[in-house]
Amino acid sequence: MSESRTLLILFATETGNAQDVSDTIARQCRRISFHARVISIDAYPLADLVAEELVLFVISTTGSGQEPRSMTPSWNMLLRSDLPNNLFEDMTFAVFGLGDTAYEKFCWPAKKLCRRLLTLGATELCERGEGDDQHLLGIDGGLLPWIDTLLEALLRHSPLPLGKAEVPLPSIPPPRVKLVPAEGANDDHAEPLRHLDNYHSATVRHNERITARDWYQDVRHLELDFDDAIQYSPGDVAVIHPTPNPKDVDSFLENNQTLPPNLPRTATIRELFTRYVDFSAVPRRGFFQYLRYFSTDDVETEKLNEFLSPGEGADELYEYCYRVKRTIKEILIDFHHVKIPKCYIFDAFPSLRPRQFSIASSVKVHPGQIQLCIAIVKYRTQLRLPRRGVCTTYISELKPGDKLFVGIQKGFFQLPTQKDTPIICVGPGTGVAPIRSLIEQRIHDGSTANVLYFGSRSASKDQHYGPEWKAYAETQKLTYRTAFSRDVPEGTKRIYVQDVIQQDAEDIWKLVDQAGAWVYISGSSNKMPTAVKSAIQDAVERFGGYTPEDAVRYVERMGQEGRLIEECWS
């Protein structure tokens, strides 16, 4: 294959979705005889980018419109003011962004990257694509039509060589890996993690429930002791790799007819489904494509053809899978004639992703230790089927003395350089986790200008770390303001953190404007962050004398200056 038919796909991901999308794009590019290199943006030498002729960028969105942590160093380099405006004049590029319209800044990093590359002289191959988690088909709703657009643009850019033909759909692509028989299985799950950067051996010290026993939600306070002198900052993230319960693995292997019935317990296949691939996930649309490739039953094949057809097929697939959150395990029970070859495991099944949890402690206060505040995920689907989060179930079953490897990732929080600069923290629910790390460190360093707005449903049932906050307040190290939405008389309006901030509008204005306070917002990304910023805008308008439009710009400027920081998730 000639060099002219090669392209580079750089992805920036937080949880692995952008990597999955990149692999999907690469498979489709092979259909038109393009060879794609798929590389994480933090593993690619950015200085080499000027020599690339054809580059696709796949960029996730994290927080409230921020780039993934893996992209930050590259993005900062691209923003340098001394870069010439013709730096990438020989580059043709395309960008696909992953986001969620529930967030205020949808696909913001992808949009910013696209604009920056154009200002540096690059040429856009085709219109930027955007995948929305809120779509009926999730990210695939925007990805699949964009891939068609991309392939057409690639063929215009580099027509197929003589003697080459486009590989039609639904031809089965070659597998990504080759599996060979192994002498034995490696049961040490920790071993691969031991050699990864910034992973550390930990021992569970405490794993206790901090919500009331009769409360609907189980929230855990987890304490992990480390063998080495770990270092982290407020807002940093702990990364935990889960393993599903062995009984769940047994159940999957027993019911999955694609695997040999005499599979021994120590086989490599068992390890794969225990350690590396996820059978409890709600799959993307591409999973059904692989089911169709390997279906051996006419009725099942017909149903899969309906799911994969445009128009009404997308609606049927949504009703069958996404609306009710049907898992891979349940789907394979329904389509039990499908025979997925072992060599296609890594193509058909998603990876078992690690999960990220904001650290809820300061290393200055708890040296050699990480503390976490984690809500255990349990719910019922619309089919009334019970669901448990793979990682939080794993965490809920950890006992004192258990060992695991934990990664540490840099977060988005920054502390004010002056310890007398006030901070205003908004952390409802488990969003209080990174806030706790920040306040602990501030108080340790002698700062007392700390305000916390905490919200939950009930003061007596789920007031996470309530005794700590009250103790700090009694010693005048913290102003503690609360909103318990269900602790109000029946028939009256529920109170949330943004309502309490509005009550304190005059104090908020004085802190933000006269004292230069920094604001931290942490928690669910649904309506809370926008409502909190609106409450701050209201304070700026009412007590600062700003017009509504100027109040909005005032708060936006706080974000641009780094004085308003969000750590929110969906």
Q: CA of 264: how far to CAs of 111, 260, 280, in Å?
A: 50, 9, 22
Decide if 70 contacts 42 (C-beta within 8 A): yes
Please, where are the H alpha helices in 266-327?
268-271, 285-293, 298-308, 312-317
Rounded to the nearest angstrom, the gap between the alpha carbon of residue 397 and the centroid of all alpha carbons in its chain is 23
Q: Which of 502, 449, 503 is nearest to 479 (CA)?
A: 449
Which H or E run contains 204? strand 199-209
**Which residues line the annotated binding site for FMN?**
13-18, 60-63, 133
Give the residues across from 324 on adjacent strands.
none
Please give the radius of gyration of the chain, using alpha carbons only, rounded to the nearest integer.
Answer: 26
Rounded to the nearest angstrom, the gap between the alpha carbon of residue 36 and the centroid of all alpha carbons in its chain is 25
**Which residues line the annotated binding site?**
13-18, 60-63, 133, 355-358, 389-392, 430, 485-486, 494-498, 569
Structure tokens at 21: 């999308």
State the amino acid at position 502 in one-letter form.
Q
> How is residue 274 annotated by DSSP?
I
In the block, tokens 């409502």 appear at 531
Decide if 431 contacts 418 (C-beta within 8 A): no
Rounded to the nearest angstrom, the gap between the alpha carbon of residue 370 and the centroid of all alpha carbons in its chain is 21
Give the residues across from 425 on adjacent strands.
452, 520
Burial profile 291-310: b = 16 or more Cβ within 10 angstroms, e = fewer: bbbbbeeeebbebbeebbee
Structure tokens at 66: 């921020």
**Which residues line the annotated binding site for NADP(+)?**
430, 485-486, 494-498
**Which residues touch 425 (CB under 8 Å, ≥6 apart)?**
435, 438, 439, 450, 451, 452, 453, 519, 520, 522
| Cα separation, 348 vs 37, whole angstroms | 20
Structure tokens at 45: 């030498």
Please write down the long-range contacts of 438-442, taking CB distance under 8 Å and 24 or more positions apart: 438/234, 438/235, 438/362, 438/413, 438/520, 439/472, 439/478, 440/234, 440/361, 440/362, 440/364, 440/365, 441/234, 441/362, 441/364, 441/365, 441/415, 442/415
**Which residues line the annotated binding site for FAD?**
355-358, 389-392, 569
Structure tokens at 440: 């602990």
Rounded to the nearest angstrom, the gap between the alpha carbon of residue 148 and the centroid of all alpha carbons in its chain is 26
